[in-house]
Structure 1
Amino acid sequence: PEVTILNSRGDFPDVPPPWHMEGECWWMLLKPLQTVPPAAYDPLEEPPEDDDEPTNTFVGGFGAVWITRYASSPIGPYDELLYLPGNFAAPSGDPKPRVTRTYVSTPEAVYTGSCNWNIPKHLARFKFTEQGDGSTLIEVFDYTDVHGPPFFAAVATPQRFAPSFPFPSNWLKLASFTQPPLPKGDDRRGEVGTEDWCAV
């Protein structure tokens, strides 16, 4: 397939929160880490090696990977892979979870995630393949490399502990992030910069 940038002018609609969204979500809780692992950041947001900014100090704690297929949202359907390695020092001095790397399937999702919540989002291609045993093979690919292998792959197995019901993500402590300002990237892909911290 041919890959194109969907918005060549970099003009995206502003859709401020709150949002109502519906979709499927898979969670992977990660064991506590002592240091930020390699590739936790996209090169655009990675702090320099000699960085001495206190708010970039990693303080450990549980991490998470979330994969979500949004069937509906204010900007239309899109897919998302979100990585949270653990807690960082917030401006208040308290440890707070922080998302360091996220991939989404549309430029509109990159733009709104950056503007609304300081979530560092980048474009990727997603593939979901249902397996014979009811599980789902989830693959995420580089957006511009149509022939390359996935850089993320996992088999997700559904676990049903209760009937389906609406689930506000703010019930979860892990969903309360403190996100630093973002550097500016490619406008055509929605990678706009921000200036202020954001509590999500």
Structure 2
Amino acid sequence: MCALAMPDALRRPQGGTAEALGPATGRLGVVMFVDYQRSEVGPYRELLFMPGPCRFPDGHRRWSIGRIYVSSEDSARNGNRNWGLDKRVASFRVERTRYGESVTVRYQDRDIAGLTLKRRGPALPVLGPWLPERWRRLGQVRDNQQFVFAPSVRGRLGVASLSDAWGNGKDFPQLQYGRGRGSLYLPDFHLDFPEADIRPLS
């Protein structure tokens, strides 16, 4: 999980959030690479980008996932239906070293994004959700509906660094023009993804 300061001229139009939302605010975007060893649809990998908090039609400001790629058809189908995501199926190439990993994502026969993550020191246990619910609350808009949910993570948490990050600007934001503002890694985690509150757009 990495926070990036990116130019608004790139972060907003390339962020991928729904047209019904206002432009992403703040100065930071977040990129995440997740390698699920187990899930209700089996193991899969995921790369996502959130361009920042957006104004929703109900007046609230929430983070929203704009770009998200997964290695599983089942994950894409269920994520899009149940949480209003725009998951797209891609292939992942992961090269692991003693201190981290390098990830390249390929979508529709072209490389669209890549990053290298390095661990910095040990990961320490975190008991219970490590962010208040209001900071974890996400929102999506899809098919004229609003989806709101607040995932929580338990496990071990450590400091990391991000290098060699890039995106092609069309399918994923141009991370190469961002500046890292902090990275974390969770080598052993449990993610609770609750049922979304789904309501029609007013």
- Normalising TM by the smaller chain, what interval? 0.5 to 0.7
Residue in 2 aligned with 1:17? Answer: none
The alignment partner of 1:60 has SS state of coil
Residue in 2 aligned with 1:137? Answer: 102
- Unaligned segments of structure 1, at least 5 residues: 1-26, 48-52, 182-193
Answer whether contact 2:12 2:23 (CA < 8 A) is retained: no
Residue in 1 aligned with 2:148? Answer: 199
Q: Indicate which of 56, 60, 70 corresponds to 2:26.
A: 60
Q: How many residues align?
A: 148
Which amino acid in the other structure matches residue 39 of structure 1?
A: Q
Which amino acid in the other structure matches residue 80 of structure 1?
A: E
The alignment partner of 2:25 has SS state of strand
Rounded to whole Å, the distance in 2 between the matches of 1:117 and 1:179 is: 7
How much does 1:71 deviate? Answer: 0.3
Which amino acid in the other structure matches residue 177 of structure 1?
A: L
| Residues 34, 152 of structure 1: alpha-carbon distance in 2 compared, 3 angstrom cutoff | closer
How much does 1:179 deviate? Answer: 1.0
Which amino acid in the other structure matches residue 146 of structure 2?
A: W
- Range 100-109 or range 84-93, more displaced: 84-93
Residue in 2 aligned with 1:118? Answer: 84
| Residues 151, 32 of structure 1: alpha-carbon distance in 2 compared, 3 angstrom cutoff | closer
Residue in 2 aligned with 1:39? Answer: 14
| Residues 130, 165 of structure 1: alpha-carbon distance in 2 compared, 3 angstrom cutoff | same
Q: How does 1:13-24 map to 2 (within 5 A)?
A: none
- Unaligned segments of structure 2, at least 5 residues: 150-202
Q: Indicate which of 163, 175, 187 corresponds to 2:136.
A: 175
User: Between the two proteins, what is the percent identity of the paired residues?
Assistant: 22
| Residues 169, 74 of structure 1: alpha-carbon distance in 2 compared, 3 angstrom cutoff | farther
Larger radius of gyration: 1
| Residues 58, 79 of structure 1: alpha-carbon distance in 2 compared, 3 angstrom cutoff | same
| Residues 112, 178 of structure 1: alpha-carbon distance in 2 compared, 3 angstrom cutoff | same
Rounded to whole Å, the distance in 2 between the matches of 1:167 and 1:81 is: 24
Question: Which has a greater percent of strand?
Answer: 2
Rounded to whole Å, the distance in 2 between the matches of 1:166 and 1:108 is: 30
| Residues 161, 173 of structure 1: alpha-carbon distance in 2 compared, 3 angstrom cutoff | farther
Rounded to whole Å, the distance in 1 between the matches of 2:26 and 2:61 is: 9
TM-score, normalization by structure 2:
0.63
Residue in 2 aligned with 1:73? Answer: 39
Rounded to whole Å, the distance in 2 between the matches of 1:136 and 1:78 is: 16
Residue in 1 aligned with 2:3? Answer: 29
